[in-house]
Amino acid sequence: MCPPKNFVVEYAINAWMDTTVPVDTSLAVKQWQVLHDSIVDLGHEVRLLAPAPGLPDMVFAANGAFSVDGVVYGARFRFSQRSAEAAIHRAFYETAGASWRFVAPTAINEGEGDFTYLPGAHGGLILAGYGFRTDPAAHTEAQEALGRPVVSLHLIDPRFYHLDTALASIDDENVIYYPGAFSESSQAVLSQLFPDAIVATEADAMAFGLNLVSDGRNVLLNAESSELARRLERLGYHTIPVELGELKKGGGSVKCCIAELRA
Ligand code: ARG
């Protein structure tokens, strides 16, 4: 994770960003801190990246890489405003001490923004989005780098420009997603692979409720998604709502702030 010390909206590269809407950076930091502390309180280990000046979107750490079983497939950002973030993430893995193997990308891809991993589905399955940010060529590159099957999913709604705005792993083998974010064929693929998926509404997606992080039991999600939280509670999950209204102005929420380290 990376604290939003330098977070502002001074360029607009997704449908949520509006440079005329003021951002309260210190409130963003406070809200982010609650997210951070909630994860620590659940017993998870958090590693921090130092926020670099001139990179206001660094708080969205999910976009910097994608790791599976100690192998890291690096990011290559779509827009120049964020491109310098990739090297910072790379340096983290290369100096982290753990035995990460870093694979540099040639294709444009935005890390966990467009890739997610389900260790318990079909022996380990990667889901990958394309259509707005990540190039489909990165999907085959990730499959070669990580040695897991990659299922390509076509995102068609600009409001849901990253896979992680429309789909999340809810546990090791199942997902929650909003079908309308995907092409009809990709919806068919998802219902074939995940007959037991939790199917979310457009309102859930608009509240950034699908930009969640789950450890299989505890689900951290945007506080606006109270309806989805109630539904998840009925399904037996423990939900932890987190207020991230400032970061939503950048087009992100819980999941965007977290790069999962699958060592
Ligand atoms: N402003 C950032 C961008 O457009 C938001 C990234 C959100 N991250 C995510 N994982 N969806 O690149």
Judge contact between 254 and 222, C-beta under 8 A. yes
pLDDT at 250: 98
pLDDT in tens, 109-129: 999 999 999 999 999 999 999
Place of tokens 């589905």: 121
Distance 234 CA to ligand 1 centre (A): 30
- Closest ligand 1 atom to Cα of 77: 12
Cα 130 to averaged position of ligand 1 atoms, centre (Å): 14
Query: Residue 230: what residue type?
Result: R
Whether the CB of 109 sits within 6 Å of ligand 1: no
Cα dihedral 63→69→73→78 (10° resolution): -20
Question: In which residue ranges of the chain is pLDDT below 50?
Answer: none
- Binding site membership of 252 for ligand 1 (Cβ less than 6 Å): yes
| Contact assessment for residue 130 and residue 154, using Cβ atoms and an 8 Å cutoff | yes
Would you say the CB of residue 63 lies under 6 angstroms from ligand 1? yes
pLDDT of res. 96: 80
37-49 per-position pLDDT tens digit: 999 999 999 999 9
Ligand 1 closest atom vs CA 112: 10
* Predicted local confidence at residue 98, as pLDDT: 66
Strand extents, DSSP E, the chain:
65-68, 71-74, 101-103, 115-118, 125-130, 150-154, 167-169, 175-177, 198-199, 213-214, 218-222, 238-242
The Å distance, Cα 21 to ligand 1 centre, comes to: 17
What tokens were used for 201?
Answer: 């509404």
Distances in Å between the alpha carbon of 248 and those of 26, 59, 165, 209, 263? 14, 12, 11, 11, 29
Determine if ligand 1 sits within 6 Å of the CB of residue 64: no
Residue 256 catalytic?
Answer: yes
Residue 208, by phi and psi: left (phi above 0), alpha (psi -120 to 50) or beta?
left
Determine which one of 2, 89, 139, 256 is catalytic.
Answer: 256
